[in-house]
C-alpha cells in the first residue's frame, strides 16, 4: 500500500537547509511575480533512496538530468523565468556542454612570463562563446534559480515549497516534472541508524511504495497552473496506456512519455484529446539539434493556449 502523502511529511523531517531554500524560492518568486513573466519549475535528475540514516548505501536512479538541463536553456530562450530543481551533481544548463574534461581541453595555460595567463584556444572560441553569452545573459537578468535535492525526501519537501510560491502565478506557472522520482523507498522509521553490517548476514530491505505527489500537487497546491509530467517506461506496449492513466488519475494537462533507450530522439505527447509524437531524425541529431528544443516549443504552445482559456 502506498502511504498517504500527508503521512510522508508527518514522518520525514525536512532537509537541514530547507528553510533557507524556502526563503530563496519565496524571494525569487515574489521578485518575478512583479515583472509578470511566465515561470517554469523544472525538476531534473533522479532521487536517491537512502538505506541507512547515516547514509553509506542508497538506491539510485539512472537519470543524468539531460532532459531537464537542456529544457531549461530552451525555456530561457523563450522568455520564461526558470526554477531549476535538480539532483545535486546532475547536469545543469550551460555547463552541461562542457562536461568532464571538455572545458580543460579548451583552455591554454601560459606560465612563461611573470604572470600566469589562461586563454581559450582559438578553435574553441566559437564553441564556448555562444553558450557563455547565453549563460551570462540569464545570470545578469537573474532569470534562473538553482535548487538542489539528493534524496526522495528532500525532493518532496522542496517540491511542495516551490508549489506554495508558484501558486500566486496561477495559469502563468508551468510545472515541467522531468525528474526521475523513485517509486519505492525505505520509510524513515524503518531505516537503521548505522551502516548495514555484512556480518549480520543477508539484509532484509523492505521497500514501500512512495505516495503519488501529483495528486495533491494538481488538485491542491497549484490548481491553476499548467502541469506537465513525464512517464518513462522500458516496454513500448504500456507507455501510452500508462501515460493516459496518469492523465485520467491526476487530471493534469499533459503527460510526455518516453522509452529509456530512445528518449533523446522520440517522445509522445499524451493530452486529454489525443497523442502525438515529437521526433528527432538521425540527421537532425548529427546537426547538433536536441529533442528538448521541439518538446519545449510544443509545451509552450499548449501552455499559451491554456492561459488563453483560463480565467485566472
Count of other CB atoms within 10 angstroms of residue 224: 16
Closest to 227 measured CA to CA, from 271, 183, 259, 180:
271
Closest to 215 measured CA to CA, from 153, 168, 166, 159:
159
CB of 264 to ligand PAZ, least distance (A): 7
Cell of 93: 544548463
Q: Which is nearer to ligand PAZ, 12 or 231 (CB)?
A: 231
CB of 230 to ligand PAZ, least distance (A): 3
Q: Which is nearer to ligand PAZ, 171 or 229 (CB)?
A: 229
Q: Which is nearer to ligand PAZ, 212 or 251 (CB)?
A: 212
Give whole-number Cα distances, 285 to 15, 129, 130, 289, in Å. 40, 21, 19, 5
Which residues are CB-neighbours of 150 under 8 A, at least 6 positions away? 47, 48, 87, 88
Q: Which is nearer to ligand PAZ, 226 or 230 (CB)?
A: 230
Say if residues 250 and 214 touch (Cβ distance below 8 Å): yes
Say if residues 230 and 27 touch (Cβ distance below 8 Å): no
Phi, psi (degrees; rounded to nearest 5) at 52: -140, 150
DSSP 8-state symbol, 253: S
User: Where along the sequence are the contacts to ligand PAZ (CB under 6 A)?
Assistant: 63-67, 178, 180-181, 230-232, 258, 263
CB of 123 to ligand PAZ, least distance (A): 29
Q: Which is nearer to ligand PAZ, 29 or 162 (CB)?
A: 162
CB of 231 to ligand PAZ, least distance (A): 5
- 74 alpha-carbon distance from chain centroid: 14
Q: Which is nearer to ligand PAZ, 21 or 44 (CB)?
A: 44
Q: Which is nearer to ligand PAZ, 67 or 252 (CB)?
A: 67
CB of 312 to ligand PAZ, least distance (A): 27
CB of 141 to ligand PAZ, least distance (A): 26
Count of other CB atoms within 10 angstroms of residue 217: 22
Q: How far apart are the first and last CA of the chain?
A: 37
CB of 102 to ligand PAZ, least distance (A): 18
Amino acid at each position: 500500500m502506498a502511504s498517504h502523502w500527508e503521512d510522508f511529511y508527518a514522518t520525514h523531517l525536512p532537509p537541514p537547509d530547507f528553510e533557507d531554500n524556502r526563503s530563496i524560492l519565496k524571494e525569487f518568486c515574489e521578485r518575478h511575480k512583479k515583472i509578470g513573466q511566465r515561470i517554469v519549475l523544472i525538476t531534473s535528475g533522479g532521487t536517491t533512496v537512502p538505506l541507512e540514516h547515516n547514509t553509506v548505501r542508497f538506491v539510485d536512479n539512472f537519470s543524468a538530468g539531460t532532459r531537464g538541463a537542456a529544457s531549461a536553456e530552451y525555456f530561457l530562450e523563450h522568455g520564461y523565468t526558470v526554477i531549476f530543481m535538480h539532483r545535486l551533481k546532475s547536469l545543469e544548463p550551460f555547463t552541461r556542454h562542457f562536461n568532464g574534461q571538455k572545458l580543460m581541453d579548451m583552455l591554454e595555460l601560459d606560465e612563461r612570463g611573470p604572470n600566469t595567463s589562461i586563454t581559450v584556444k582559438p578553435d574553441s572560441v566559437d564553441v564556448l562563446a555562444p553558450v557563455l553569452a547565453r549563460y551570462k545573459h540569464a545570470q545578469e537578468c537573474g532569470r534562473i534559480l538553482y535548487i538542489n535535492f539528493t534524496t526522495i525526501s528532500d525532493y518532496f519537501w522542496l517540491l511542495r515549497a516551490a508549489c506554495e510560491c508558484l501558486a500566486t502565478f496561477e495559469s502563468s506557472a508551468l510545472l515541467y516534472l522531468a525528474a526521475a522520482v523513485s517509486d519505492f523507498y525505505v520509510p524513515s522509521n524503518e531505516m537503521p541508524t548505522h551502516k548495514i553490517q555484512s556480518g549480520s548476514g543477508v539484509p532484509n530491505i523492505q521497500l514501500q511504495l512512495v505516495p503519488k505527489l501529483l495528486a495533491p500537487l494538481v488538485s491542491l497546491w497549484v490548481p491553476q497552473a499548467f502541469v506537465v509530467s513525464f512517464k518513462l517506461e522500458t516496454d513500448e506496449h504500456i507507455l501510452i496506456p500508462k501515460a493516459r492513466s496518469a492523465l485520467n488519475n491526476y487530471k493534469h494537462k499533459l503527460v510526455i512519455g518516453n522509452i529509456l533507450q530512445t528518449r533523446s530522439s522520440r517522445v509522445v505527447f499524451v493530452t486529454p484529446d489525443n497523442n502525438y509524437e515529437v521526433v528527432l531524425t538521425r540527421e537532425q541529431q548529427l546537426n547538433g539539434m536536441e529533442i528538448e528544443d521541439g518538446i519545449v516549443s510544443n509545451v509552450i504552445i499548449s501552455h499559451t493556449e491554456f492561459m488563453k482559456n483560463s480565467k485566472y
